[in-house]
Chain A
Amino acid sequence: MTTQALHPSVSPQEPPRLTGMSEAVLAEVAARLAEVVAGASVPPIDLTAMPLTSEDRADLEQRLGRGEVFATVESAGRSQIWETQFSGVWFVRHFGENDRIASECIEFGAAPEILFSHRADMSAAARRLAAALQSADAREKTDH
């Protein structure tokens, strides 16, 4: 009756192991960084949907390490961004509900896109700031 009886040696609950995927990703990181150095702009590597085990992820993160910059962005939830110990290689991790990782990628270049202020936001900010100063001015005038 039992199919299992034929496999006495197999332990079904083996913990997930390193699959070699982290190695492959690192090789890709190296290739893309070389392209960046040569002056190209390269797309990010998306890790979210990659079939990495938790060990693979930990291994990748550990081997990329931490560099000099660490940033937290609060916009539609939290995001953590850090430069790895390899300049130009950035780790970008977005969180969703309940601190669940919503998406994760490795970006290349001087800084990842999300750290830059967008033109539209800047012009809105300029308008807001001007308006704030104006109303402050107006208040001062009425005070005197």
Chain B
Amino acid sequence: MPQAPKLAPTLGELLQERGVSRRAFLKYASYLSAVMALPAGSASALAEGLANARRQSVIWLSFQECTGCTESLTRSFSPTLESLIFDLISLDYHHTLQAASGEAAEKAREAAMAENKGKYVVVVDGAVPTKDGGLYSTIAGVSNLDMLKATAKDAMAVIAVGTCAAFGGIPKARPNPTGAAAIDEIITDKPIINIPGCPPIPEAMAGVVSYLVSFVKLPELDHLRRPKAFFGETIHDRCYRRPFYERGLFAEGFDDAGARQGWCLYKVGCKGPVTYNACATLKWNGGVSFPIQSGHGCLGCSEPDFWDQGGFYRPLSTNLRDMGPALAGAALAGAALGAGAAWASRRHQESYQREQNPNEGDKK
């Protein structure tokens, strides 16, 4: 039944039919290369790459998640520049966004997999429950675990979107009742890109997909498989409140004078110094603001196990465990040991003295 495959139109051709010129590509490319800090002058190469690429087949799997990642991505695209990204990919399966449902949806997924074997990209949001055979989350009767393995088998690459997919996120937070695991704990033989965040910054997601489509290679990743272009610096590195940090001007609460004057939020638990993400530069909602600008410390949402770091309002420099009772016990035990040692030493000295001058002790 399959005929000789006719070459699909390039993105340039595809969009031309809709009256989108190459200038749009160039504009998008210069935007992207600015955002991803690509070497100067790579915008035209990127634009050409994009225009000559074929539409990328994408299968989007949603597992143990809250749909916040999808919300973040879809809500933030305006009908202009950023919407181009959706024209770059053919979203063959996304059970929140696609019109088809039930069996038809699953068929679409299987068809896309067969047609684009070895070439499609799998995007995953949500962690994967692994306990008890993965029965804690199923779609159409198939466990997330099995669906991920089957879908990733013939994929070109897997993109883990959001902290849950990238690091296990909230489902994996202690005590992790479902045995939730990150994608790269399960899929080990495919290129994986993590785009963490709770939710991730939409530009990061769009940027990575565009990069993948036009350069047909993975962007440079850090040791947690995060693209360096977006996760190369900490929030603290680029935070506009940083001068206050250096000068020691801290808000002590959320409504004190310091908070009103925009001082550093370290004391109220900001995790910016150890959180790699682009919030401070790209910002949110189309560049309107980001959490610290809105007066709240960074939660560290793009880092592994951010939920279990001792509390969002606990300063970074404090210890994670409650030590009061243990230390009081240690002090008591130490005092007792010390007293015991001193007592033993006194006894020893006395007996020694008695041995030396047996009479003196009696006289006293």
Residues on A facing B (Cβ under 8 Å):
1-4, 6-7, 10, 12-13, 43-46, 48-49, 73, 75-77, 79, 92, 94, 96-98, 100, 102-105, 113-114, 118, 120-121, 124
Q: Is the CB of A3 within 8 A of B248?
A: yes
Q: Chain A residues near B281 (CB, 8 Å)?
A: 49
Q: In this complex, what residue of B is CB-closest to A98?
A: B286
Task: Output the residue of B27, B34, B258 with the most chain A CB within 10 A.
Answer: B27
Q: Is the CB of A49 within 8 A of B262?
A: no
Q: Chain B residues near A121 (CB, 8 Å)?
A: 16, 21-23
Stretch at the interface among B37-45, B122-130, B321-329: B37-45
Q: Choose from A6, A45, A96, A118 the contact partner of B31 (Cβ within 8 Å).
A: A96
A-B contact count (CB 8 A): 110
Q: Is the CB of A73 within 8 A of B23?
A: yes
What distance in Å separates the Cβ of B214 from its nearest Cβ neighbour in chain A?
A: 15
What distance in Å separates the Cβ of A88 from its nearest Cβ neighbour in chain B?
A: 16
Number of interface residues of B (CB under 8 A): 41
**Binary interface encoding of chain B residues 197-212 relative to chain A, with 1 for a CB under 8 A from any of its CBs, else 0:** 0000000000000000
Q: Chain B residues near A49 (CB, 8 Å)?
A: 34-35, 37, 281
Q: In this complex, what residue of A is CB-closest to B39?
A: A43
Q: Is the CB of A75 within 8 A of B41?
A: no
Stretch at the interface among B56-64, B74-82, B146-154, B218-226: B74-82
Q: Chain B residues near A113 (CB, 8 Å)?
A: 26, 44
Q: A6-B248, A76-B84, A114-B27 are in contact. Are A97 and B78 (CB under 8 A)?
A: yes
What distance in Å separates the Cβ of A11 from its nearest Cβ neighbour in chain B?
A: 9
12 A-B Cβ contacts within 8 A?
A3-B250, A10-B247, A76-B27, A94-B31, A96-B78, A96-B80, A96-B287, A102-B81, A103-B34, A113-B26, A121-B21, A121-B23
Q: A77-B81, A100-B286, A118-B22 are in contact. Are A7 and B34 (CB under 8 A)?
A: no
Q: Chain A residues near B263 (CB, 8 Å)?
A: 4, 12
Q: How far is the CA of A58 from the CA of B24 in the complex (A)?
A: 27
Q: A12-B263, A94-B31, A114-B27 are in contact. Are A7 and B248 (CB under 8 A)?
A: yes
